Chains A and B, each alone.
Chain A
Amino acid sequence: MRGESKEEKAKEKELERQTYSLPVGPQHPMYIEAENLNVYLDGETIVDVDVNVGYLHRGIEELMQRRNYLQNIFVAERICGICSGIHSMTYCQCVENLLGIDIPERAKYIRTLVLELERLHSHFLFLGVVGYEIGMDTVFMYVWKDREHVMDMLEQVSGNRVNYAMPTMGGVRRDIPNHIIPSMLEKLNHLEKRTEYYRKLFLRDRTIIARSRGVGILPKKDVERLSIVGPVARASGVRIDVRMDFPYLKYGDLDWKVIVEKGEDSQARVMVKVLEIFQSISILRQCLKKLPSLDREIKTKVPLAIPKTEAIAIMEAPRGELVYYAMSNGTDRPERMRIRTPSFVNIIYSLPIMLKEQQLADLPIIVASIDPCFSCTDRMTLIDTKSGERKTVDETYLKRLGERRSR
């Protein structure tokens, strides 16, 4: 009897060695929003994952119902710092739909331009994060250095780096003067050259391929079943892009194409974004070329109180389809605001499918590859299904694990 228990003890010890006992180290600057994943493990293999969001819930929809339409532009802008432009513009579009008005041609071009600049900076940010997560800090530094050129352009155009405050109801707040156009074109040329380099890098580098090809598969049928949107869906071979499907602003008149990849894995998701950068640069060039020939009017007058009605606006954010719904009640405050953001769908539904049967060391790259708009993943709880033990690890540990795998 005693011998057996000794054996059992040894077994338990063995198991204990397999589980992870690490210091609780919550935050990480990589993911910007706090969020908690419960990862169930069998040894090193992921069995299941629980996503626990809500750390950043601020009650924005309720807040918007207490502010007037003009104040709400700035609240909408502050939903997300990375997608700030698209949020405020979709909101403005929604209010314009409530009123049934159209905005001047020049304002449309300026809005398109700012949106594409934002897509550029968001995609560059993403590429840097991917480099960082597979343990290649050089890639991260390179990409973020180039991202600064995009930030410079945004600052030239709007005066701000993150919350641009460009749109307003009925138009835009600032004009783009002609004299900054040549310098912007120059920067775009530089960015195009750099992106070509990244395209080769992410397509050919042996380490990157080993870490991302075939990792985190998201089958096409699941994408369709769970209505996953944006670049994540496009990387699984689903042709879905609001800019093409329901053209808004100037996208219908410009020359560009939707990028679709068939890979279904992390590498495909990265490639979609790299190729979209080229498309964005081309759209930007077309906008800049058109701007000087347009009428200088950038704003139409709008009334502050809106009669009772309802409206919806859909746009393509850098991460997928963004929907705003508004209901007015005759005053200057909305009766109801509803926002559906792309990341929510992508994170909640796709993570459990992609992470199943994967290695723990691949978790950061898989999570990063859907470009989650939760940053600062606070920490994860690992549950070993054999011993039922709960251990908590931090991102540093995961990153170290990932780095070891890259070598």
Chain B
Amino acid sequence: MFRRIGDKIVCYARRKSPWILHFDTGGCNGCAIETFAVLTPRYDIERFGGLSKANPRHSDILIISGAVTKKIESRLRRVYEQTPEPKAVIAVGSCAISKGVFHDAYNISGPLDRIMPVDVYVPGCPPKPEAILQGLLKALDVWRERYKI
């Protein structure tokens, strides 16, 4: 009984402060600057309690952009493994979703959902910051359903 109440409080708090990690895995970094713009005053992710983190061990939500190159693939796997549960993964941009313009390049081993489970897809090349913000809120919902938060 008490444990359940405790869990609920933790979960409530967690949903109100999703810490995000952004990782660019070899696109044109257009998606990366748009993800970055989400942190700045006009879009302001802190309205939703979000905070950008550099360390996967501190973060709850992974925002991944870019077609995954071969050199970065193992690093990406490690980032995913280091992120503690419960976590959510957002694929930002057509590169991460379907490899985009790089679909037949020789050094690409993506798309992202072959490498790790993806919860939310944000299409666009690049998506606008508003879309990324919406994707983030969607990820919170997915999260809640999956972990009953």
Q: What residues make up the interface of A, taking CB atoms closer than 8 Å to B?
A: 23-29, 32-34, 54-60, 62-63, 66, 74-75, 77-82, 84, 125, 140-141, 144-145, 147-148, 151, 161-163, 373, 375-376, 378, 394-396, 399
Contacts and interface: CB of A to CB of B under 8 A. Distances in A.
B30 A78 contact: yes
Given A23-B57, A29-B52, A378-B75, A63 B37 contact: no
B28 interface: yes
Contact of A81 (B55, B69, B72, B126): B126
A34 B42 contact: no
A96 B32 CA distance: 31
Identify the interface centre among A32, A59, A62: most chain B CB within 10 Å of its CB: A32
A330 to B, nearest CB: 23
A97 B37 CA distance: 37
Q: Is the interface of A mostly helix, strand, loop or mixed?
A: loop
A33 B40 contact: no
Contacts of B125: 78, 163
B21 interface: yes
A58 B105 contact: yes
Q: Is the interface of B mostly helix, strand, loop or mixed?
A: mixed
A318 B126 CA distance: 20
B38 to A, nearest CB: 10
Nearest to A162: B30
A158 to B, nearest CB: 13
B33 to A, nearest CB: 6
A84 B28 CA distance: 9
B54 A396 contact: yes
A62 B56 CA distance: 34
Contacts of A66: 104
Contacts of B78: 26
28 contacts: A23-B57, A25-B55, A26-B23, A26-B79, A27-B54, A29-B36, A32-B32, A32-B33, A34-B23, A34-B26, A55-B26, A57-B107, A58-B67, A58-B105, A62-B106, A74-B101, A78-B101, A79-B28, A81-B30, A82-B30, A141-B40, A145-B40, A147-B40, A148-B40, A162-B126, A375-B29, A396-B54, A396-B55
Given A78-B30, A125-B33, A145-B41, A27 B22 contact: yes
Given A58-B108, A396-B54, 8 more contacts: A26-B78, A29-B52, A56-B26, A57-B26, A58-B105, A59-B107, A81-B32, A376-B24
Contact of A33 (B21, B24, B57, B106): B24
Identify the interface centre among A62, A81, A140, A144: most chain B CB within 10 Å of its CB: A81
Identify the interface centre among B35, B75, B82: most chain A CB within 10 Å of its CB: B75
A37 B81 CA distance: 23
